[in-house]
Chain A
Amino acid sequence: MLLAYKAALASPRISAAGIEASEFPALAEEMEVWAVPRIVVNGVPQWDGAVPERVFVERVLSATFG
């Protein structure tokens, strides 16, 4: 979660929200949240699990929404 916040602070093009899955079950179901953390970019799930900084940045920058 903190890496997402750091990225948002570092770039005006990035925003980051932590979302408590059990309080928003309809959204969690839509995003197919089973394992946490689940990282979603521009409404499209990308991966599950905490990753180191270099991997996080790579994956966020190469996120696809197709």
Chain B
Amino acid sequence: MAIFRPEDEEKVRELFAALERPVELVVALGPEETPLPGARDIDFGAETVRVVEELAALSERVTHRVGAEAERYPAVFIRPEGEEVGIRYDGLPWGYEVGTLVGAVLEAGRREPSLRPESLEALAALDRDLAIEVFVTPT
């Protein structure tokens, strides 16, 4: 089953075509934790590869490959121009979270950050490393 409805796929195709720089999606596969009972009985790693392949098929600006080490599996690293900049998604991105992955690609594809000047100024003063983890549940 396609991950987008035809009208959404066309929209994403257009957005990807406008990326200022190419973005690579790298999937890390490895041993998976047992999900909660009631979670769909699927191969999360294989499905993650499928989602990433479908996204990469929408534009020459988005490429993908499989093969990386990660803290947990599956994981998708989002790398502008193939460079690791510290943004990733852990787990199978499906439902609403496919939109999150698309959003991540769009942001990574920008040459300039899209935060407001005040935010950028505040972040520039950061004097320590911050690892942000956002726990989500696809609906």
Which residues of A are in contact with B by a Cβ distance under 8 Å?
1-2, 4-28, 31, 33, 36-43, 53-54, 57-58, 60-61, 63
Contact with A along B82-97 (1 / 0, CB 8 A): 0001111111110001
Size of B's binding interface in residues, CB under 8 A: 48
Compute how far the CA of A23 lies from the CA of B37 in the bound complex, rounded to whole angstroms.
10
Inter-chain contact count A-B, CB under 8 Å? Answer: 175
Contact with A along B58-86 (1 / 0, CB 8 A): 00000000000000100000101000011
Contact check, B97 vs A42: say whether CB atoms are below 8 A apart.
no
Which residues of B are in contact with A by a Cβ distance under 8 Å?
32-36, 39, 44, 72, 78, 80, 85-93, 97, 100, 103-104, 107-108, 110, 113-116, 118-120, 122-124, 126, 128-138
Contact check, B135 vs A2: say whether CB atoms are below 8 A apart.
no
Compute how far the CA of A23 lies from the CA of B34 in the bound complex, rounded to whole angstroms.
7
Contact check, A22 vs B115: say whether CB atoms are below 8 A apart.
no
Compute how far the CA of A30 lies from the CA of B126 in the bound complex, rounded to whole angstroms.
27
